[in-house]
Amino acid sequence: TGRFSWQPRRVPFNTETIAFLVSLGLVVGAVGTLVGAGGGFLLAPVLLLVYPHDDPQTLTAISLAAVFANSTSGSIAYLRQRRVDVRNGLIFGVCGMPGAVLGAIAVGHVPRRAFDIAMAATLGAVAVWLALSHGRRAPSGSVPVRRGAALSVVVGFVSSFLGIGGGVFHVPILVMALGYETHMATATSH
C-alpha cells in the first residue's frame, strides 16, 4: 500500500442517510435562496464533518453541484420577479469563471488538514466582515462594473476552491462595494 492508496470512508446508504441528506438539502436550499448564496457556505462545512476522510476535491465538487442546482432554480424564480440585474450579473459571472477553474484545479493539490483550516479561516473572516460592516452600503447610482468584474475573479477562485459558491461573498460585495439594494443583490448573486 502506497502513500495515496487509502480509500475514502463510505457512509452507508440507508433510510437514515437518505432522510439526513434530504433534510440537509431542503435547509441548504431554502437558506441559500433566501440570502442569495446558493447554500454552499452551509453544505461544504457539513460535508467536511460528515465525511472526515474524503478528499477536499470530492467534497467541493459535491457541494458545488448542489449549489448549482439550487442557484438555477432560485435564479428562475428571481428572474420571474424581475429582481435580477441580468446584464451585470452575466458580466460578473463570466469574469468569475477563470477564477473558478483555477480554484477547482488548486483544491486538488491541498491536503485535507490544510483545506479544513482554510475553510474555517475563510468562513470565520466572512462572519467577522459581515458583523463589522452590518448596515454599510455603497451609494446607489451607477454600478462600478469594472470593480465588480475584478472582484468576481477573486470570488470565483475562492468559492470554487472551497466549494461554497460565490454568493456568501458576492451579496455583501454587491451591496457594500457596488451600491446594490439588498433584494437585487441577493437575486443577482444567485
* pLDDT tens digits, 53-77: 899 999 999 999 988 888 888 889 8
Q: Which is nearest to 54 in space by CA: 121, 120, 107?
A: 107
Q: Which residues of 20-39 are buried (b: 16+ CB within 10 A; e: fewer)?
A: eeeebeeebbebbbebbbbb
Q: Which is nearest to 48 in space by CA: 112, 124, 114?
A: 112
Q: Quick one: pLDDT at residue 8? A: 52
Report how far apart the first and last C-alpha atoms of the chain are (Å, whole number): 45
Residue 29 carries which side chain, given as an amino acid letter? G
35 confidence band (pLDDT: 50, 70, 90): confident
- Identify whether the C-beta of residue 6 lies closer than 8 Å to the C-beta of residue 52: no
If you average pLDDT over residues 149-169, what whole number do you get?
A: 93
Q: Does the pLDDT value for residue 163 go beyond 90?
A: yes
Which grid cell sits at 151? Answer: 472582484
Q: Does the pLDDT value for residue 104 go beyond 90?
A: yes
If you average pLDDT over residues 137-147, what whole number do you get?
A: 82
- Taking all residues of the chain, what is their mean pLDDT, rounded to a whole number? 87
Q: Which is nearest to 174 in space by CA: 184, 165, 160?
A: 184
